[in-house]
Structure 1
Amino acid sequence: MIDPKRDLDAVHEATERLLTAAASLDNAATSGPSRLPGWTRGHVLAHLARNADALVNVLEGRPMYESAAAREADIERDAPRALTEQLADLRASADRIQAAGERDTDWSRTVELRNGVTDSASRLPFRRLVEVELHHVDLDIGYELEDLPKEFTERETDFLAQRFSGHADVPPTRILTDAGEWHTGGPGGTPVTVSGPAADVLGWLAGRRDGAALEVSGGLLPALPPL
């Protein structure tokens, strides 16, 4: 069952971990490359701050972003800032989303995100948790997929398996980890079975690893559409 208040607590804890880790950087490291192609660590930090504000917009009934172009421009504008500015902005934006989530909210309502995607308001805190946890890994500062909380890894694996379920470009796929079993991909046919450590499976589903560490039977490792 989705518990948005509990997820808000998890967001706070994950944000504190990220801020503590990022505080050990310096300006040179902040301008260095992240694990995301074309993005520095400054881009990742700027994106996290602006994503928090975007989710506040959603919670308060406004469009998530003014436009796709404005979203990109804001990230490019904020990416080159000094580390102290990045961390202060990220903390302030985290406080804003925490405050918005703690106000009386109709978590049962449907909200609109980017590109016409809709979801229950109750899932927004978990969506923010995904941003914080995975982008902490993307910063490439010592936090790995193996360090993610076990519950988060299982929930995000479940979320991504649902996301690709029924997708015409993904063959029927059975996913096995030591935490459980999931089914995804299109209907019909004998499923490909993909198995391996939970962190490697999540890395493959989330586009963070190429799946080379996974075992595949019944076909080739499915190529997944970008998130």
Structure 2
Amino acid sequence: MIPAAAVAEAHSRLHRALEPLTDEQVRAASPLPGWTRGHVLAHVTDAGRALADLVENALRGVLIPLYDPKTHDRDAIIEATAGRTAEAHRRDLLRHSVRLEDAWARVTDWDQHVDYRDGKLSSTVFARWREVWIHAVDLDVGIGVTDWPGDFCHHAVDFLQDRLPAGLAIQAGEHRWGSGRTEVTGSVRALAAWLSGRTTGAGLAGDLPELGPWPVTGGRRPPRPARPAP
């Protein structure tokens, strides 16, 4: 099932959490190394813009990359827009969130080809789902891993299991990921938080290994936090 409605709810939750954010708080450091809250907001906003552009063009039968280096330098855009006011961040994030949701509402074939990740339009929905919930934790605006929906946690572990070293399996109840003997166990939420780098493994049992890189098929790996977000 394509979780477009679930992403809309994640958008709504994030927008509500950002309502009291001040300009001073925008300039404060985030858990991501070298990034302020403004950098995180700029990243989430521009990712929404890029996904909306990709989906809108796909609906017209035009294939574009998520980030065209000739017209959109992702890192430069983040640096240029990170220092905006809290209100400017809220306004642009909402604008591109609405654009993306409106574009998804017009999709009739989620298997339609796009130049992104697994080559299907559906991948844009799952990518945004991860983007919003994971970076909502990085923003430290009252949203933590305990707020992640259960179905999102399962999806996050499914997506991030490629970070596990060979020969290691993880398990939550009857659900098992990876190959080899089970070495790490815990709740799906605790596994998702650990695999996404948003905790150091709180609530997990077993020897926690060093994780591999973020899956980057057709995309770009987000920065890992220097310390776990609350």
Whether these two folds match at TM > 0.5 is yes
The answer as to whether partners of 1:164 and 1:184 remain within 8 angstroms in 2 is: no
Task: Show the counterpart of 2:176.
Answer: 182
Measure how far apart 1:160 and its partner are: 1.6
Task: Show the counterpart of 2:54.
Answer: 58
Distance 2:9 2:211 in 1: 30
Task: Show the counterpart of 2:114.
Answer: 111
Distance 1:87 1:164 in 2: 33
Measure how far apart 1:24 and its partner are: 1.3
Structure with more contact order per residue of length (Cα contacts < 8 Å, sep ≥ 6): 2
SS of the residue 1:155 aligns to: helix
| 1:148 maps to 2:148 | yes
| 1:129 maps to 2:129 | yes
The answer as to whether partners of 2:163 and 2:195 remain within 8 angstroms in 1 is: no
The answer as to whether partners of 1:207 and 1:226 remain within 8 angstroms in 2 is: no
| 1:172 maps to 2:167 | yes
Distance 2:16 2:82 in 1: 19
Measure how far apart 1:171 and its partner are: 2.3
Distance 1:156 1:83 in 2: 29
Task: Show the counterpart of 1:86.
Answer: 89
Which aligned runs of 4 or more in structure 1 are off by greater than 4 angstroms?
A: none
The answer as to whether partners of 2:158 and 2:177 remain within 8 angstroms in 1 is: no
The two structures have a TM-score, normalised by structure 1, of 0.83
Task: Show the counterpart of 1:225.
Answer: 212
Distance 2:146 2:107 in 1: 35
Deviates more, 1:57-66 or 1:44-53: 57-66
Task: Show the counterpart of 1:120.
Answer: 120
Task: Show the counterpart of 2:218.
Answer: none
Distance 1:104 1:154 in 2: 25
Measure how far apart 1:105 and its partner are: 4.2
Please report the RMSD computed on the Cα atoms of aligned residues, expressed in angstroms.
2.0
Report matched runs for 1:39-58 at 5 Å.
39-58=35-54
Measure how far apart 1:212 and its partner are: 5.1
Distance 1:27 1:153 in 2: 32
Task: Show the counterpart of 2:181.
Answer: 191
- Percent identity over paired residues: 34
Measure how far apart 1:145 and its partner are: 0.5
Task: Show the counterpart of 2:138.
Answer: 138
Aligned amino acid, residue 205 of structure 1 = L
Measure how far apart 1:118 and its partner are: 3.2
- The structure-2 alpha-carbon separation of the partners of 1:204 and 1:104, relative to structure 1 and needing over 3 Å to count, comes to closer
Deviation by residue 1:177-212 (Cα, 9 ceiling, x = unmatched):
24x422226xxxx42421123332111111212225
Measure how far apart 1:214 and its partner are: 1.8
The two structures have a TM-score, normalised by structure 2, of 0.82
Distance 1:53 1:177 in 2: 35
Aligned amino acid, residue 135 of structure 2 = H
Unpaired segments ≥5 residues, structure 2:
58-62, 215-230
| 1:11 maps to 2:11 | no
- The structure-2 alpha-carbon separation of the partners of 1:105 and 1:39, relative to structure 1 and needing over 3 Å to count, comes to farther
